[in-house]
Amino acid sequence: MAEHLYIQVAERIEQLIEKEVIKIGAKLPSVRTLSKENGISISTAFQAYYHLENKGLIEPRPKSGYYVKFSSKRLLDVPKPCKPMKKASEVSTSEMIVEVFHNMTSEDIVRFSVAAPPDILLPGAKLTKAMMHAMRTTPNAGANYESLQGNHNLRLQIARQSINWGGAISEDDIIITSGCMDALTLCLSATTQPGDVIALESPAYCGAFQLAESLGLKVLEIPTHPKHGVDIEYLDKAIPKFKIKACIFVPNFNNPLGAQMPDENKKALVDIINKYDIALIEDDIYGDLYFGKHRPINCKSFDKNGNVLLCNSFSKSIAPGYRVGWTVPGKYYDKVLRLKLNHSIATATLPQAAIGYFLENGRYEHHLRNMRKALHTQCLRYQQAIYEYFPEDTCITRPAGGFVLWAELNPAVNTFELYEAALKRKISLAPGRIFSLQDRYNNCMRLSFGQPFNKRINDSLKTLGKLIQQSL
């Protein structure tokens, strides 16, 4: 679908700002001129400027017109990737993680720590309708077990959408799970034995370390670039050296960096995986939340041998509380299905049916379009506030999708201490240390930009900036 006209015009202006053709502080053409030169109506010209203003890139000055306020060129530096590890680590459970995520549902805290969508971006009313429909149409109002594989219509809808990420799967390739963590747990259990070594990104989603620990696995962290993702050349050498049996990577907008692996790297990664015949568990939970023109493809789309186990869920895009995820486990299909039977028998019937209905009616695409726009805008506004309030030596990543960005502060700052100080002011953040098994990232933190930008968020980021200054 073509973008609205006003967005097309706004994007051209944005590019000019980014390339510094129009510099910060410069005056933009009047609305009348913009309208005339672009052959658009006055109201479309206004909409284009409103759009850019909403993104925090331009500002109106009374009785004068619009001026350039910010350029993404002005953003802070990007952090450097970490050094490789000397050996694979036994996972040590971090009390810190429990501490940080303990307050997950508390409403009076500004939760920069949680990478979950805020209420306002979730399609509450439409979901309720879908659930009512599910109760009316499911045998025995959904009280019975769903099949082990999961709701047929939902699997069909997921298969239909696979074209968006370069896939061509059928409903029989898919297993529904209780959220993405459940999918990851089943896939990791299916591909490893206790004592095995697996590879994760560094920094990586702290839940993946915890999962590895609970399955008795060792973890090698692979240096991951804030822009291009996992260092695949290093990985190629590390797999035989450390006898890696499986990798869990998040190639699209990974957590916590927000990095997006280029398509050619995805292909190369799958080639490496196939060369050593090991498993790639691909967590694509943020894939639908891209800020660019198109949905990024998956590693799974290059998978000919069944070595890629794709995992995903609707927890980031529709309803975390429904706990509906899915996996396309390739050649591990039978094993994953059996593990699902052993560990949980089936996934809850009604949430699956409701989401299947939601997808079937084209509501998902419409909902995602709005959500992506909102998140992209939020991402920019957060970055701008960080630029304004944080010390100049702060580095931040440039997420191209998802919910989170990663900030590297002056080495003198300890972000766990910062976390504790911030919590006293009702602000929570995720300290960098929990995203690694090594004693690293102590001066880093993950900030979720899931909450819409407003005065409270602005003030909280300002407070964070002050706290950072104080700790220097």
Do 441 and 433 meet the contact criterion of CB atoms below 8 Å apart? yes
Of residues 105 through 124, those in contact with a copy of itself by CB under 8 A are 105, 116, 119, 122-124
Which of 56, 79, 81, 142 is close enough to bind a copy of itself by CB under 8 A? 142
For the CA atoms of 24, 27, 32, 38, what is the dihedral angle to 10 degrees? Answer: -40
Number of chain positions touching a copy of itself (CB under 8 A): 61
For residue 93, give the DSSP letter: -
CB count in 10 Å sphere of residue 362: 9
- Closer by beta carbon to a copy of itself, 165 or else 314: 314
The smaller minimum CB distance to a copy of itself, of residues 334 and 420, is found at: 334
Which of these ranges, 42-50, 135-143, 268-276, 282-290, lies near a copy of itself under the rule CB under 8 A? 135-143
Asked whether position 127 contacts a copy of itself by CB under 8 A, the answer is yes
Indicate whether 78 belongs to the interface with a copy of itself (CB under 8 A).
no
Question: Which SS3 state, helix, strand or coil, does residue 355 take?
Answer: helix
Stretch of 13-21, 57-65, 145-153, 219-227 lying at the interface with a copy of itself (CB under 8 A): 145-153
Q: Is the dihedral of CA 334, 335, 336, 338 positive or negative?
A: positive
Should residue 181 be labelled a site residue for a copy of itself when binding is judged by CB under 8 A?
yes
| Rounded Cα gap, residues 124 and 433, in angstroms | 35
Q: Interface with a copy of itself includes 248 (CB under 8 A)?
A: no
DSSP calls for 166-225:
T----GGG-EEESHHHHHHHHHHHHH--TT-EEEEEES--HHHHHHHHHTT-EEEEEEEE
User: Is residue 343 close enough to count as binding a copy of itself by CB under 8 A?
Assistant: yes
CB of 30 to a copy of itself, least distance (A): 43
The sign one gets for the Cα dihedral 447, 449, 452, 454 is: positive
**Which residues, at least 6 apart from 12, have a Cβ–Cβ distance to it below 8 Å?**
none
Using the rule CB under 8 A, which residue among 33, 214, 305, 370 binds a copy of itself?
Answer: 214
Q: Kindly state whether residue 329 participates in binding a copy of itself, applying the rule CB under 8 A.
A: no
Q: Is 216 in the site for a copy of itself (CB under 8 A)?
A: yes
CA dist 80 and 457 (Å) reads 27
Between the CA of residue 457 and those of 56, 383, 403, 413, 460, what are the distances in Å? 14, 12, 15, 22, 5
Nearest CB to a copy of itself, comparing residues 130 and 308: 130
Task: Please report how close the Cβ of residue 242 comes to a copy of itself at its closest, in angstroms.
Answer: 20
Binding residue for a copy of itself, selected from 194, 304, 362, 455, defined by CB under 8 A = 194
Both structure tokens of 420: 């504790």
Name the one range near a copy of itself by CB under 8 A: 47-55, 73-81, 161-169, 207-215: 207-215
148, 341 Cβ separation under 8 angstroms: yes
Start-end of H helices in 22-123:
31-38, 42-54, 95-101
- The contact set with a copy of itself (CB under 8 A) reads 93, 98, 101, 104-105, 116, 119, 122-125, 127-128, 131-132, 135, 139-148, 178-179, 181-182, 185, 189, 193-195, 207, 210-211, 213-214, 216, 318-324, 338-339, 341-351
